[in-house]
Amino acid sequence: MVNIFTSSIGKKLIMSITGFFLMVFLVMHLAANFVTLFGADAYNAVCHFMDTNPFIQIMVPVLALGFAVHILYALLLTLYNRRARGNQNYAVANKGAASSWASRNMFVLGLIIVGFLGLHLFHFWAKMQLQHFIPDGEPETNAYMLVQTLFRNPLYTVIYIIWIWTLWLHLAHGFWSAFQSIGLSNNKWIPRLQLLAKIYATVIAVGFTIIPLFFVFGLDK
């Protein structure tokens, strides 16, 4: 069991498994958020369903926990690798020359994603969920209005879209890399997985981009 957390293969495996949690979470989140395009009643009904359905209530926290572990473990691994690398920066840089920019900067991309994720959660999830724990706090019950108000702000929309396409870079590499870590690493599968990764990342990014543009251009009226 110790080897799972200390060996190179074990570390990659943990990052891959928790990365799958993130990928599933994004698909669910996009599916729910895309309903905003069909109006307030439809989106508020979806939010109510997610807040009351027992299966969703269990699955979402589990996926979110996997996402959180992915973030924390990435931070720990980065700090560990930098400490272990010491004066070998030149060798590592040469080794990275043949890899993609995204693969060499996954941690930086991850930090950008997490930073905006915190801001995003503050504007949505906190206002709908955390108000229960504040004395005399009144949780926001109109989820559609929260989305509408925020995405009608052009500045927030631009920042959000930049964040989403930063996520694209992270997913386009992380998706196929996760499968590679669990054994699908031969020359036959890698090109297929890389193509599938770009398709998946593009669907996620385009889907999440359409939603704020829908509001900022006033198509919800």
As a whole number of angstroms, the distance between CA 92 and CA 214 comes to 44
pLDDT at 70: 79
Low-confidence ranges of the chain (pLDDT < 70): 1-9, 11, 84-107, 120, 125-141, 179-186
pLDDT at 35: 96
pTM of the model: 0.78
CATH architecture of 2-216: Up-down Bundle (1.20)
pLDDT at 138: 55
